[in-house]
Structure 1
């Protein structure tokens, strides 16, 4: 589906969009967009070289399907191997398990990141402090059945817990949880750290000091030059971006500051990356698919031109208000096998450590995207950040132009109103 405009009408439409009064909350209905095709590659490839895993048994931002909260699990006295030992047997409350096996399970990073990720425990390298210090839990007087069930499904005790339902979601078997309880019952001495950096409670908050705009420091600065070339490159219609935007540094000086926008024709919020794809198709005929180098380059460039200006989402429009509300609701939804919500890491546990990673808050999260990730050697737009959060908590990600991601992007950008653009960013 293509929208045909005369050159005069097209320029007027784009001028209305770029310089609309009071930074309109909704996208002008005159802006030409291709609205029928997906804005991403079909078939969708999660990530190059990444073996996909299907977590369809667990909730996503689109559907709620995770298993419900469990009932209390009763313990039996059967042994599971010749090395198992009985931890106690007062009033029939017995855990039979092997502390050595339990310690190995507690530290196994392949099982959801391990208990070390959130708790201070003996021998943990860079433990986290999202959870409480449990290095002396063995002398707390907790009975075995309580410990077993708290690990099996902590939602029984605290519905809003950030601790995964290890047993209920099939990460550990019941026998494995018995081993873990057996290990925890042996812990009686507080951990002594050799340095303040080892202790998550005294570890210094990371401060990013690299210069975003130094081409020798931030590889994604080269994408600004790539975008400038794309801007003057003609597409299949014989037109380039410059045909309608002769002075992008003037016309787009603040354009990115109030994106994303509600697009009522598509009944969704669209961000800059999706806009680039759909607007290019409808005007120049170029195909700049989401998360491609061309798309990332232009998305960086359009924000680069707005550097130094504050994010300014206009929240006066009713549709924008509804999108923000939907986004906030999604941020509170528990998803994935690990049963995390966005707020669990970036609000409840903000400014804490999950193993060696610092959990930032929502404010300060948006002003540097797209950003170069040194840990991956590639540029991520904000939608890819959302997708990878899903992978980290074992939830199936959504397509880049998902309406759910649009609502979350709108919510986060509104939370960051007043923050000054500094794009492209560079982060580990």
Structure 2
């Protein structure tokens, strides 16, 4: 019982925050981000809407679904009861293709089913390898795929039919496929295929070794930018003596924080977008290489020092309340929240596909910016937020949005007392 009480207090946030978030006094903010990171949507000549995202990212517009924007007052996807359509014959082969389709989900991100081609499978949801043996009514299975909230109000499974991700006919095919999955389940030839027997990831070695982590080299090269005069003839070094390593020691441990001059919470990256041009005349747009590299250089000066973001001032408490509300807010076509993946009682410490979902109570932010081996680039926390939005079926906000800053503050509150280690290295 004591452990449950402690866990409940942790999940309430490392800080005691206001019960009801107040959105009334926030400033209007004009983004200072690169074009790909502003969350814009453009209208094509044929009238179709296309989201502007980073090169190689999907451009589908999810404007029909709720986002993290504080002024987006749309409700959750409405709970919807449904029955299988008449006159549709299920095709198990089509159902399996839909189950594995990356364009649709794939369902294997959360559920294990038989097949050597099922890789990587996750275990956020139950193993469905022999669900056909349960002889569940087709109408019941249809409803669970269409909108499982009818039966399980707190489920993390998306309302696939209610949101329009799958059509009624496609769900019939999925149900037909699921009914074919019966035992005995063949023995695993590869323990790594099965998320229930797969080993926990071991990491990528020393993240501060420049021969192992390319982001370290990028950060060290940013010292040139630190010392280079901008268009107005001044450099960062003119105001901060002793180089970034000495003058910035400890600074990053306090970010994100409320910055009175701008009336909002800011990360180091946010602050650079406005402070840099004001002092040097050089633009440091959010998600630009200069911004991310300089932020890494500044944060590296605090490596080994404990995170100590403010969680007690009135401004911090108000921001934490809003950030916490965002953490639990369900958004997008899949009607998911951050909490669905990153809290111990939901998806944390389980596999989503081949990726182990990190537990928010262990801290998520003190390694960012981090080198993404799968992307060949250094990402800050905001690009990671934006990346999450796309598979959730939600349009992203601008990288320097206040909503993201306060969400990052809430997440960073769990890192308080833990040592910084920037840049990280992740897949």
CA RMSD of aligned residues (A): 1.8
2:65 maps to 1:58? yes
In 2, distance between residues paired with 1:287 and 1:402? 18
In 2, distance between residues paired with 1:71 and 1:232? 59
In 2, distance between residues paired with 1:67 and 1:252? 43
Aligned to 2:49: none
**Helix, strand or coil at the partner of 2:145:** helix
TM-score, normalised to structure 1's length?
0.84
Aligned to 1:360: 358
2:158 maps to 1:161? no
In 2, distance between residues paired with 1:242 and 1:71? 59
In 2, distance between residues paired with 1:72 and 1:293? 48
Q: Deviations over 1:154-210 (max 9, x none)?
A: 121222211111111111111111111112122221533223322211211102142
Aligned to 2:119: 125
By how many angstroms is 1:76 displaced? Answer: 4.4
The correspondence of residues 52-201 of structure 1 with structure 2, limited to 5 A, is 52-62=59-69, 63-65=72-74, 68-78=77-87, 80=88, 84=89, 97-112=90-105, 114-123=106-115, 124-191=118-185, 192-201=187-196
Distance 1:223 1:77, change over 3 A: closer
Q: 2:217 aligns with which of 214, 222, 231?
A: 222
What number of residue pairs does the alignment pair up?
377
By how many angstroms is 1:61 displaced? Answer: 0.6
Q: Deviations over 1:362-419 (max 9, x none)?
A: 2242111111111011110111000001012121000011111011110011111112
By how many angstroms is 1:229 displaced? Answer: 0.8
By how many angstroms is 1:234 displaced? Answer: 0.9
**Helix, strand or coil at the partner of 1:343:** helix
Whether the aligned pair in 1 keeps the contact of 2:99 and 2:107 (CA below 8 Å) is yes
Give unpaired runs (5+ residues) of structure 1. Answer: 1-34, 85-96
In 2, distance between residues paired with 1:416 and 1:138? 44
Whether the aligned pair in 2 keeps the contact of 1:58 and 1:64 (CA below 8 Å) is no
In 2, distance between residues paired with 1:99 and 1:369? 44
In 2, distance between residues paired with 1:229 and 1:125? 44
Q: 2:321 aligns with which of 318, 321, 325?
A: 325
Q: 1:337 aligns with which of 333, 336, 344?
A: 333
2:233 maps to 1:238? yes
Whether the aligned pair in 2 keeps the contact of 1:69 and 1:156 (CA below 8 Å) is no
Distance 1:73 1:387, change over 3 A: same
Distance 1:75 1:213, change over 3 A: closer
Look at both structures and tell me which one has the larger radius of gyration over its CA atoms.
1
Distance 1:296 1:144, change over 3 A: same
Give unpaired runs (5+ residues) of structure 2. Answer: 1-27, 39-51
Q: Deviations over 1:293-345 (max 9, x none)?
A: 11111100110011110111121201101111111110111111122110111
Whether the aligned pair in 1 keeps the contact of 2:124 and 2:350 (CA below 8 Å) is yes
